[in-house]
Amino acid sequence: MQSELTNEAGAPAGVAAEAQAGSAVAGADGSLNELPPADQKDAEIEALKKQLADAEAKAKEYLDGWQRARAEFANYKKRQEADNASLRQFALSAFIGKILPVLDDFERAAKTLPQNLQGLTWIDGVLLIFRKLQLVVESEGVKPIEVAPNAAFDPSIHEAISHDEAEGIQSGCVIEEIQKGYKLGDRVIRPALVRVAK
Position 17 scores a pLDDT of 43
Domain range 143-198, CATH class: mainly beta
Q: What is the mean pLDDT of the chain?
A: 83
Position 185 scores a pLDDT of 85
The answer to whether residue 116 scores a pLDDT higher than 60 is yes
**Integer Cα distance of 137 and 99 in angstroms:** 9
> Can you list the pairs that 138-142 forms with residues at least 24 positions away whose Cβ atoms lie under 8 Å?
140/92, 140/96, 140/184, 141/184, 141/185, 142/96, 142/182, 142/183, 142/184, 142/189
Pairing verdict, β 158-164 and 192-197: parallel
135 confidence band (pLDDT: 50, 70, 90):
very high
Q: What is the pLDDT of residues 33-69, one digit of tens each?
A: 555 567 788 888 888 989 999 999 999 999 999 999 9
Give the start-to-end residue ranges of the domains of the chain: 143-198
